[in-house]
Each structure stands twice: as C-alpha cells, then as structure tokens.
Amino acid sequence: MSRLAQAGLLVVVLAIPGSALLAPPTGASTAKSVAGEPGYRMLAADGGVFSFGAPFLGAPASDPTRCVRNPDARSMPYGSCWSMASTPDGGGYYVLDAFSGQIYPYGDAVSYGQPADTGAYQGGADLWPNALAMAVTPDGKGYWVLELGLSGMASVQAFGDAAFYGDPATSRLETKGVPEGIVGTADGEGYWIAFSDGGVFSYGDAQFYGSMGGRTLAAGVVGMARTADGNGYWLAGADGGVFAFGDAAYEGSVAGLPLAAPVVGIAADPAGPGYWLGASDGGVFALGGAPFEGSMAGHWLASPVGAITSAAALPPA
C-alpha cells in the first residue's frame, strides 16, 4: 500500500481480513534475539509496533495523541504512522509521524531533531508536507527524513550528523510516481530515493545501479532496501514482486501468488543475502534464507501495517 494512499491521496483497494477490524495489544514480541541478530519489526498506521526475533521497546499507539486517525487537515483513516527505522545496533528504533512531522524514539534511539520543529510545520496544518520515510546514518547519530510537499516535489531533511546531499525539490527534478522510500549508503555519505513508478535517484556517493523507471509494472513500488556493502539494492512492489540491482541477489518473490493483502515494504536480512516482505495485514514472507520469526497475519489489527524494517543494520556478532 502506497504511503500516500494511507493519507487518502490515492485510492487503493485493500484486501484486509475482517479480523483486522479489532485491536490487539499495541505491541507483540517474540523476542529471543539480542541486538544485532536477525529479526524484524512492523509498524501499523495507528502506531502499533510488532517485534519478531527482536525486543519490543515501546510504541506510539499507547499515546492517543500520536499517530492520530483523520486529523482535521488531512484524510488519514487508518492513522498517520507509516515509517520506522532501527538504530544500527538494534537496541532502538524511531517511528515517524507522517502528518505531524514528529519522530518518536524508543530504546537507545536518540532524538537529533524532527521535521515538526522546522519552518515547514509552523503554518496551517493543511499546508504541512507528508513525512513519508526515514533512514538512520551508519553510526546512529543522525537520520534523513523524506517528505512530499504541496508542490508534489520530494524533499529531504537531515538531522544530527546526517548531511544533506540534495533532493528532487532542490534540483527541480521532474519525477514520475510518488516517493516511497529513502535508503542511506553504507558509509552514510549519500542516499537513494525510490519512487512508486520504480524510479531511483542517487545523491552523495550513492551509486545508481538501475531502476524500474520507464517500465510497465504490475503494481507500484512500495519499498527499497540495500545490501550490507551498499553496492546494490532491492525494490519491492505491492504485488510482492522483487527487483534486484547491483550486487543484490534476487532471492525470490511472491508476485503471482494470491495475497490476502498488498505488500507494503521490504527489509534486508543483515545476516545474509535474504530479505523479508511485509504485507498490510501483518503477513511476512521470508526469502533467500532470511529467517521467519513470526507475523501478525491472522491476528486482529486496529490499523493496517505500513512498514517493515530489519531489527538492526549490523551483522550478528
């Protein structure tokens, strides 16, 4: 499901089971790993966080003022939290509120500022941009936030030791599709921005290894993940398709299978060449040797899942 679809700006039909209408606890955990070991977390639009193979450290869903549904200035029927990012050691994570531009840190995640405190969020709320995605620097001392403003241009804000290397808005770059994700390079001196039409744009020392831009896609791209060495990346489509570029190995997909709900993101297994696909009903597909640690499929969800992320960016100790 597109991030902007959750904001009511695009029309998407979701195949969410009836059981998804009732609420589980705000967090679920099958924690049996320590920081740095394989595992993943999922984020629901209402701020619920679900941890698998990694500790549960808290969730915005416990605070009714966070990740609100249908704020007056914006149509967000499921909630406003669609993006999260883990700290490099796996001991914490951030949740990004698309409407308010606030960032909620948990565990060892440290706040280095947030879009909400910048000029773009000081006027009327109907003029605020959508904060769509974030990526943490390799040392964990900063992060980038990808936004979409009223102009329809994607922009990047940098916080902490994250440096700004450019964005489509600054360069007046004409793009197709809508921005879906931002991924930092292995050394933190650049980043990629992925769009729903499969386009990929590189900034800083990020190398362009290819994209699906200009090609006919069965479904829009909803997520991006990079390899451990940063010399390749994957794109994932809402239909479960996976596209590999650079040294990223294609380890399979679920395209063509009858999915109960659309895929919303992809997360790389830090321990190997595999990856996880997350679906809006909380389903998880583990491919290429990535361990399956559990999912929320079949559980009652108050809001659909909007993101999946690796529990840590480092390989196991």
| pLDDT of 264 strictly over 80 | yes
Please say whether the beta carbons of 208 and 253 come within 8 A. no
pLDDT in tens, 165-207: 999 999 988 888 999 999 999 999 999 999 999 999 999 999 9
Residue 305 lies in a domain: yes
Nearest to 184 by CA among 165, 212, 171: 165
Q: What is the spatial distance between Cα 29 and Cα 101, in angstroms, rounded to a whole number?
A: 27
DSSP one-letter string for 177-235: S-EEEEEE-TTSSEEEEEETTS-EEEEETPPP----TTS--SS-EEEEEE-TTSSEEEE
Question: If you average pLDDT over every residue of the chain, what do you get?
Answer: 88
H or E element, residue 265: strand 263-268
Does the pLDDT value for residue 8 go beyond 90? no
The domain of 24 spans 3-208+292-310
pLDDT digits (tens, 9 = 90+) for 220-258: 999 999 999 999 999 999 999 999 999 999 999 999 999
Check residue 11 and give its pLDDT: 25
Q: Is the pLDDT of residue 19 over 90?
A: no
Confidence of residue 151 (pLDDT cuts 50, 70, 90): confident
**What's the half-sphere exposure (Cβ side, CA atoms, 13 Å) at 80?**
25
Structure tokens at 216: 């006919």
Residue 22: the pLDDT is 28
SS (H, E, C) 143-183: EEEEEECCCCCEEEEEEECCCCCCCHHHHCCCCCCCEEEEE
What pLDDT, on a 0 to 100 scale, did the predictor assign at position 174? 82
Is residue 78 assigned to a domain? yes
Specify if 188 maps to a domain.
yes
User: How many separate domains does the chain show?
Assistant: 1
How far is the C-alpha of 229 from the C-alpha of 196, rounded, in Å? 25
Mean of pLDDT values over 87-101: 95
Please indicate, yes or no, if residue 171 is contained in any of the structural domains. Answer: yes
In a domain, 93, yes or no: yes
- 130 lies in a domain? yes
pLDDT of 140 > 80? The answer is: yes
pLDDT in tens, 28-56: 444 444 444 579 999 999 999 999 999 99
Question: Is residue 47 domain-resident?
Answer: yes
pLDDT at position 24 over 50: no
DSSP state for residue 3 in the 8-state scheme: H
Computed on alpha carbons and rounded to an integer, the radius of gyration of the chain in Å comes to 17
For tokens 């924690």, name the residue: 31
Report yes or no on 236 lying in a domain. no
